[in-house]
Structure 1
Amino acid sequence: MKTSTLLFQFLQNGLVLLVAPLLLGWVNQCRAWLQNRSGAGLLQPYRLLFKLFHKDAVLADNASVLFRSTPYILFGCMWLAAALVPVVATDLPLSAAVDVIALVGIFALARVFIALAGMDIGTAFGSMGARREMLVSFLAEPALLMVFFTAASISASTSLTTIVETLAHRGFVIYPSMAFAGVAFLMVLLAENARIPVDNPATHLELTMIHEAMTLEYSARHLALIEWASSLKLLAYITIGFALFLPFGITKAGNWAALPLAVAALALKLAAAGAGLALLEALSAKQRVFRVPEFLGTAFLLAVLAILIHYLLGA
């Protein structure tokens, strides 16, 4: 294993860790501009993390080891997922582990722990949020897998690195199947990251919240790790979308001359994706919880239609 490829891996690991809060701040700032507000600024997520890390943690008397360790597990899973995705380079030392099914497993592992932690204290809000989170994941994961299988069928591999290299070096080709898969992936991204129309991360209304209900009992460094993990999850999903549908501007590990261009391309794509996400949230309304299964059921049908189009029409 070459030293240059190791340096690329460490660079990507640090890059996703630092960029994730900035991406969340950019989305919130764009959303504030669209709502004719000034906003808190791009660096507000960093200020929030700094404040939370310097507070004293308050835990319930009946909090178990699971409750205490879940923020660290959640942060580790999300950091691992974001670091595995080809963000700026392929052929990294961890490329062999970048399997789309394994990525879904990492997200599922983190979800199981946060749901168990939400029920650990025994509060009504935590248990309600855990049940709703499991309902969303139960419907979102099959749709996400079908989206991955569509891209894997085109590249003949479930390795995300192979998918990126196949689609990026094949020239400009329009795949109708990937168009349907892209819409389904966007719907799954909104649901999995607790964004409008499935959830609203800016409110704490007990009748509507899903993700926030499981984290109400956390404070200080534990809450900081959860918030950081949420931003890493959003970054991971967006970069997965880039790898599947916009696999351009990604260099190979060890090519230091192309690294500035790859970082610039990533910055432009993240800025456009963040602005688009803010625009979509500004134009959408929060759905009722009982409408979420219909929303994710539509995503699954679109993903199934995508893979059927690929196999039946070869497109």
Structure 2
Amino acid sequence: MNVIGAAAVAVQVGGVVAGAPLLCGLMRQVRARLEGRAGAGVGQPWRDLRKLLRKEAVTSLGTGPVFRAAPVLLVATTGVVAALVPLASTDMVVSGSSDLIVVVALLALGTVTLALAGLDSGTAFGGMGASREMTLAALVEPTILVSVFALSLPTGSTNLPAIVSGALFDPDRLVSPAGLLATAALAVAVLAETGRLPVDNPSTHLELTMVHEAMVLEYAGPDLALVELGAQMRLTVLLGLLASLFAPWGIATTASAGALVMGLAVCAGKVALLGAALAAAEVFWAKLRLFRVPELLAGSFLLSLLAVTASYFLSGA
């Protein structure tokens, strides 16, 4: 069991690292096709990372250790989250530590680290992006916490593998009012956490609209490659978390190599389907004005609170 559990952790982390650029390439290709363009291909993000890794590392004058350590910390925290979240299997050696609060704290740590790096650069864009990012994070992180907490009430635990296992054996809770409200709330939170439309546009560099890009304008070479990889990994992990919580079918629940391989394949398919659906939706979405984004996130937080209330009354009944 320990060998399979350790293999499950390695498979999940390796799958996220290797598959995150491919997911972004798939999303770009879907958008290109829907917009009438040929697209650069699914493997283009990997080629971009390889090109950046070959360049010389350039650091702006006046930056401190926070600026240099932020890309590594972003990838490291996201890698730990990929090991904790039950993407392919619920039977892992770290299942006892896969707590909801730990996962949200690690996501918040990566966000704060990148915001501090934006401030450390000493540029106007870096400070602006950091300010906007922390404004969004103040609404996004509680929404993720509360929406998943709504699913934990019937289980009686905030352990993510326990929540997923409970949903597998009692799928009716996923189509209950609490489950549907939590799904909607978490979906909006994922869009904001990963900087996607309509909250943020990852392909723009206009100072009036960019949030995430403003914090990383001073990075170049291998540091920029790590930042890009970290952002792609966060998108993959959060889409995987959304799929595992609300469509947990196919996840391995036993210490079996065959079940683990099947779980990884099913997880990759679900994440690819969610990514393609998100890319298709972004074609028809326009970015919200910055002052309208808190209204959207406040609405998602209200949905998560309603999900907790509904889950509480349904579990009491």
* Residue aligning to 1:274: 275
* Residue aligning to 1:241: 242
Any conservation in 2 of the 1:128–1:213 contact (CA below 8 Å)?
A: yes
* Residue aligning to 2:208: 207
2:56 counterpart of 1:56: yes
Separation in structure 1 between the aligned mates of residue 222 and residue 58 of structure 2, nearest angstrom? 10
**CA gap 1:235/1:45 in 2 versus in 1, 3 angstroms:** same
2:187 counterpart of 1:186: yes
TM-score (normalizing by structure 1)? 0.96
TM-score (normalizing by structure 2)? 0.96
Shift, 1:134, TM fit:
0.4
* Residue aligning to 1:166: 166
Q: Tell me which moved more, 143-152 or 131-140.
A: 143-152
**Superposed counterparts of 1:1-315, under 5 Å:** 2-173=2-173, 174-252=175-253, 254-314=255-315
Shift, 1:171, TM fit:
4.2
Separation in structure 1 between the aligned mates of residue 6 and residue 200 of structure 2, nearest angstrom? 39
* Count of residues in Structure 1 that have an aligned counterpart in Structure 2: 315
Any conservation in 2 of the 1:49–1:224 contact (CA below 8 Å)?
A: yes
Shift, 1:252, TM fit:
3.1
Q: Which runs of 5 or more structure 1 residues have no equivalent in the other structure?
A: none
Separation in structure 2 between the aligned mates of residue 271 and residue 236 of structure 1, nearest angstrom? 12
Aligned-residue Cα RMSD (Å) equals 1.4
Any conservation in 1 of the 2:2–2:93 contact (CA below 8 Å)?
A: no
Separation in structure 1 between the aligned mates of residue 121 and residue 260 of structure 2, nearest angstrom? 47
Shift, 1:7, TM fit:
2.2
Separation in structure 1 between the aligned mates of residue 155 and residue 248 of structure 2, nearest angstrom? 13
Separation in structure 2 between the aligned mates of residue 311 and residue 2 of structure 1, nearest angstrom? 36
The sequence identity of aligned pairs, in percent, is 43
Shift, 1:278, TM fit:
0.8
Separation in structure 1 between the aligned mates of residue 72 and residue 89 of structure 2, nearest angstrom? 27
Shift, 1:87, TM fit:
1.2
Shift, 1:2, TM fit:
2.5
Shift, 1:5, TM fit:
2.2
Q: Tell me which moved more, 138-147 or 229-238.
A: 138-147
1:217-274 deviation digits (Å, cap 9, x = unpaired): 0000100000000011001111111121011101135311223322331232122101
Helix, strand or coil for the counterpart of 1:282? helix
> Which amino acid is the alignment partner of residue 95 of structure 2?
S
Separation in structure 2 between the aligned mates of residue 102 and residue 258 of structure 1, nearest angstrom? 27
Q: Which runs of 5 or more structure 2 residues have no equivalent in the other structure?
A: none
Helix, strand or coil for the counterpart of 2:57? coil
Separation in structure 2 between the aligned mates of residue 101 and residue 224 of structure 1, nearest angstrom? 29
Separation in structure 2 between the aligned mates of residue 270 and residue 305 of structure 1, nearest angstrom? 27
Q: Tell me which moved more, 248-257 or 83-92.
A: 248-257
